[in-house]
Amino acid sequence: MTDSWLIKYENQCRLFIEQESIADVAHDIHHIERVVKVAKQLARDESAELAIVVPAAWLHDCFSLPKSHPDRAKASSMAGDKAVKFLTEIGYPEQYYAPIHHAICAHSFSANIDPKTLEAKIVQDADRLDALGAIGIARCMQVSGALGRSLYALEDPFCTQRQPNDVEFTIDHFFKKLFHISATLNTAAARKEGELRESKMRDFLHQLAKEI
């Protein structure tokens, strides 16, 4: 596989994604591009097959539903089906369809599908890393604002004596989900990056605590 061979298909994937509707503000083309960038680096670090990782990263959110949608858990499987249909139309090599489909299905938290291949693990890691660090904070604020959540609970804003309730409070999402992501990462390279990004998020909460 040459770089020019893959770039040709990458450009088609990008055009396809740009034409699709976006379920929420945190899953726009900028999110896709960041996931692709990280997935490529992880693939090189872990010696994975770029011909699987790259299209799966580009197309992992080609079908998406809002976080509040009752069928949210099915979205990644629907995205996998849609991705394979598109790849068939553009003549992408058929031997990659099944592993790309699996990588897309397994990337989602909601789907709760274990990644069985190195490539699926990398796509999942790249997507989850985008929920951490400075960009993770920004995306959390975007989604919470769109859903009308309060920033924090006036009493016990950092969940020291209560269970986190991220349906009502934005900061609770850090404790309910975001601070558990690093432990779910599959590859050594992703875990190292995840720990660094999580530390930046904890620094943010430490500063927030001072200000409120």
Q: What is the dihedral of CA 23, 122, 96, 13, to 10 degrees?
A: 40
Burial 99-126 (b: 16+ CB within 10 A, else e): bbbbbbbbbbbebebebebbbbbbbbbb
Mean pLDDT of 10-16: 92
Tell me, yes or no, whether 75 and 147 share the same domain.
no
Query: What digits encode the pLDDT tens for the residues 165-193?
Result: 999 999 999 999 999 999 999 999 999 99
Give yes or no: residues 96 and 182 share one domain.
no
User: From CA 156, how far away is CA 160, in angstroms rounded?
Assistant: 6
Residue 200 domain-assigned (yes or no): yes
Q: Are 110 and 172 part of one and the same domain?
A: no
In-domain check, residue 124: no
* Confidence band for 72, pLDDT divided at 50, 70 and 90: low
Are residues 106 and 166 part of one domain?
A: no
pLDDT digits (tens, 9 = 90+) for 73-87: 677 888 899 999 999
What is the model's pLDDT at position 90?
Answer: 94
DSSP three-state, residue 211: helix
Considering only CA atoms, which of 55, 69, 85 is closest in space to residue 23? 69
pLDDT at 28 over 90: no
Which domain range does residue 148 map to?
133-211
Residues 74 and 173 in one domain: no
Report the helix count and the strand count for the chain, using DSSP H and E. Answer: 9, 0
Could you tell me if 170 and 105 are in contact, meaning their C-beta atoms sit under 8 angstroms apart? no
Domain count, the chain: 2
Give per-residue pLDDT as tens, 95-153. 999 999 999 999 987 767 899 999 999 999 999 999 999 999 999 999 999 889 999 99
Domain containing 152 — which CATH number?
A: 1.10.3210.50
pTM: predicted TM-score of the whole model, two decimal places: 0.90
